[in-house]
Amino acid sequence: MALSLTEFLEHGPATSREIQDATGLSQAAVSRQLRKLGHRVVAIRSGRTPRYVLTRNAFGAGDRLPVAVVDAHGDAAVVAHIRPLVTGGFHVEPSPGMPSLLLGERGDGSYDDLPYFLQDLGPQGFLGRQIAREMSGRFPEFPDDPKWWTTNHIGRYLISNGDDLPGNFTLGEQALLRVRRRPDAVDDAEYPLLADRVMQGEVPGSSAGGEQPKFTAFSGKSMSHVIVKFSPPVKQHRKVT
């Protein structure tokens, strides 16, 4: 018994000819059904013959996730959409102005996993471990160390915190809505208190990487974003005689 077009595409990417052979449909019928699927199907163009693959919902945010670049003035421009695929991979759907580097090694926008430029935005270093512990406390399915996070953990984190990440990329509609929010200014005299909060497991500011204890803030004095590094107090051990 011949498979339907969607049943066949659930197994992975296929050309129009491969779909015809598996379903018994004519080329015209395949084209009509692909058009009806609309955004549910992606055409991966590598060479002359495109391959078609179904999308899936991912990270609780749908199957078409905007990637935006934020400039120095806080203005965001969508440069691509991330399309999660039924195969478990992802496809970068470019918008005008997107750097070709984001299309990946194959040059066709297809990735076996979350694209590298989003993977790199996951929690790392000292603050990354603080973030992972906080996420684990709120959502038990999140490991308390980011080195054990899967693609799903990273994607969900980026979607929910996409306006406050290292670099200038944002992911998801929520981040686009929040990216122009006005930061709360912090007085320099509050830094010791914020450092204490960090050492107690709280995570003020964004997720700057690196092992040095730190936090980020918006300085009311300089009216600029800052990374504040600090040294935790050295515990004094009483000598027992």
Q: For residue 15, how many C-alpha atoms fall within 13 Å in the half-sphere facing its CB?
A: 9
Q: Which residues of the chain have pLDDT under 50?
A: 240-241
Q: What pLDDT is stored for residue 201 in this prediction?
A: 65
Q: What pLDDT is stored for residue 241 in this prediction?
A: 43
- The contacts of residue 131 (CB under 8 Å, 6+ apart) are 123, 146, 157, 203, 207
Beta bridge partners of 83: 91
CA distance 91 to 162: 19
Q: What pLDDT is stored for residue 213 in this prediction?
A: 73
pLDDT in tens, 105-139: 988 999 999 999 999 898 888 888 888 898 899 89
Burial of 235 (0-12, 13-18, 19+ CB in 10 A): exposed
pLDDT in tens, 68-84: 988 877 778 899 999 99
Give pTM, 2 decimals. Answer: 0.74
CA distance 95 to 72: 20
